[in-house]
Amino acid sequence: MPGILIVEDNRELREMLKESLTRKRFTVQEADNGKDAIIHFKPGVTDLVVTDLIMPEEDGLKVIMTLREIKPSIKVIAISGGGKAGPASYLNMAKALGADAIYYKPFSVNEMIGKIEELLEIEQP
């Protein structure tokens, strides 16, 4: 099954996402900040990254930029609970950096899984 990297500093949310995705038989890896996500990134294993945007160490925008550099084919889903860096919002910037989908927290995890399946071209049973 495809590998998904979850980058999220909120532990409960990260665990919830992990459980939801594991159930769908995805191989899930986690990181609780942007820096760790970049250091431990395995291009051979990870096909899609779900990343929060405002995080300690490196933020989600840096994660998107670095991971795309290492593996241009990687799919990106950005999630955020709101927050702005200057006049543009983080989610807008993530979109500009080429995130394939963006979600405002709280979001429907089923909807997100649908999107993941669509992006990874997985036929629904």
Partner 1 sequence: MKQEKYKTDIQSSLEFLSREKLYADHIFNNSRSMISVIDRDYVYVKVNTTFCKALRGMADSIIGKSLSDVWGEETFSKSIKHNIDRCFDGATVKYEASFTTPQAGKRFFEVIFRPFPSDSGKVTHLLAETFDITDLKLTEKIAIEKEEEFKKFETNLPIGFMRCRPDGRIIHGNKAFLLIMDCRSENSLYSANFRDYYAEKGIFDMHVEQLADSKLKSFGRVPLKTCKGKDIVCRISGFMTLDEAGNPSYIDFAFEDSSRELMLENRLLEAQKLETIGSLAGGIAHDFNNILATISGYSELLIEDLPGHSPLSEKVSKIQTAVNKARSLTNQILTFSRQVEQEKVPVSVYEVLRETIGFVKSAAPPSIKIRSNYRDKQKFVFADPTQLFRVFLNLLTNAIQALEDKQGTITVTLAIEEGKKVRGDLNKVIVADEYVLVTLRDTGKGMDQSLLRRIFEPFFTTREVGKGSGLGLSVVHGIVSEMDGSVLVSSEKGKGSVFYIYLPVYSEKARKPALHGRKKKLLFVTGNRHESKILSLGLESAGFEMTQSSEIKHFNKILAETQTRPDIVIYMSDADQIRIDDLVSSFQKYGISPPCIIICDSNQDNPGEKLVNSGIISQQLVKPVSLKEIETAIQLSIKR
Residue 17 lies near partner 1 (rule: CB under 8 A): yes
CB 92, min distance to partner 1, A = 6
Q: Whole-angstrom Cα distance, residue 45 to residue 58?
A: 22
Please say which residue, 54 or 66, places its beta carbon nearer to partner 1.
Answer: 54
CB 97, min distance to partner 1, A = 15
CB 8, min distance to partner 1, A = 8
Q: What's the CA dihedral at 51, 52, 57, 59 to 10 degrees?
A: 80
Cβ-based neighbours of 105, under 8 Å, separated by 6 or more: 13, 79, 80, 81, 82
Give the number of C-alpha atoms closer than 13 A to the C-alpha of residue 102, restricted to the C-beta side.
19
Among 36, 57, 92, 97, the residue binding partner 1 under the rule CB under 8 A is 92
Please say which residue, 44 or 106, places its beta carbon nearer to partner 1.
Answer: 106
Q: Whole-angstrom Cα distance, residue 116 to residue 4?
A: 9
Residue 106 lies near partner 1 (rule: CB under 8 A): yes
Helix axes 11-23, 109-119, angle to 10 degrees: 60
Q: Which residues bind partner 1 (CB under 8 A)?
A: 10, 12-13, 16-17, 19-20, 23, 54, 79, 81-84, 89, 91-92, 102, 104-110, 115, 118
